[in-house]
Copies of this chain bind each other. A is one copy, B any other.
Amino acid sequence: MRVIVDVAIIPIGVGLSLSRYVAACEQVFSAAGLEPTLHANGTNVEGRWDEVMGAVKRCHEVLHEMGAPRVATNVRIGTRIDREQTMADKLESVRTKVGQ
């Protein structure tokens, strides 16, 4: 099952600057062979369920290893079986309509 996911990760108990942790999670996705697309409030990733969600788990583990005692993540997960759809397809589909 393929999945399109949006991940927003917040380490708790490490102060105010979170970017180092978000960057570490980006690198987890890349190391997993995924191609994360960072945006201002999260990261988009697509792929097979187990790979993508396995990388999300790895993000929690890595942030804990970096010293975050607590990690809170908000994940939007989308799956569909009617047809194949990539993140690029989704974007294109909206953009054509905004342009009208």
Contact = CB atoms under 8 A, between A and B. Distances in A.
A75 interface: yes
Which one of A19, A46, A56 has the highest number of Cβ atoms from chain B below 10 Å of its Cβ?
A: A19
Interface string A60-73: 11001000011111
Interface string A15-56: 111111011001100000000011111101010011001001
In the A-B complex, list the 10 residue pairs whose CB atoms are closest, starting with the nearest: A23-B97, A6-B41, A40-B87, A69-B82, A19-B93, A70-B80, A13-B16, A39-B39, A73-B77, A40-B44
Interface of A: 1, 4-6, 8, 10, 12-13, 15-20, 22-23, 26-27, 37-42, 44, 46, 49-50, 53, 56-57, 60-61, 64, 69-82, 87-88, 90-91, 93-98, 100
